Amino acid sequence: MCNNFNKKFIDEAAKALEDNNLAPAPPTLENEKFMSEAVIAAIKGMDANEGGPFGCVVVKGGKIIGRGNNKVTSTNDPTAHAEVTAIRDACKNLNSFQLDGCTIYTSCEPCPMCLGAIYWARPDKVYYGCNQEDATNIGFDDSFIYKEIPLPDEKRSIPFEQCARDIALEAFQKWEKKENKIEY
């Protein structure tokens, strides 16, 4: 299913590929303010031994509506990255599963999992501080995940294998027929 919202992202991605030679604009005072808040969240979480040195804030209308920091080690949750925890907080505060009209400020370029969560949350824009290379330099290297994504199931370092598709399709078939579903 390619709804209008998904088409918008596909069109924007194609345009971004055409414009890939554009240099980033210098940060505004507002951007620096919110990036500083993301870094403060990272340092507070790290100092409290909650997880790695990553922080994130979600902003709407010039106000922070969601905060998060990495909590992987303190919660034993490998999905508790800063962006995911900030998105959860913002969505809870907005009583919505989407971040329309929001901007995400994250202290580091999102990993593949967080990138997926960001696209599902659909904010208007994302600003990041450190990049993938900076993260790799301190021991957080996601490049192996990017290399795994295009591989066939049987070639991945963690083997993937489809099974019982006919059983699994039942939920999808019921979803298709569901009249009161909330699409996202």
The residues annotated with a catalytic role in the active site are 83
Tell me which H or E stretch contains 73. helix 72-75
Q: Which residues are paired to 125 by β-bridges? A: 103
- C-alpha radius of gyration, the chain, whole number: 18
Q: How far apart are CA 63 and CA 102, in angstroms?
A: 10
Angle at 118 between CA 112 and CA 119, to 5 degrees: 90
Question: Which letter does DSSP use for residue 111 in this model?
Answer: P
Contact 69, 54 (CB under 8 A): yes
Structure token pair of residue 107: 């202290």
Phi-psi region at 49: left, alpha or beta (left = phi > 0; alpha = psi -120 to 50) = left
Structure token pair of residue 33: 């303010």
Side chain identity, residue 164: A
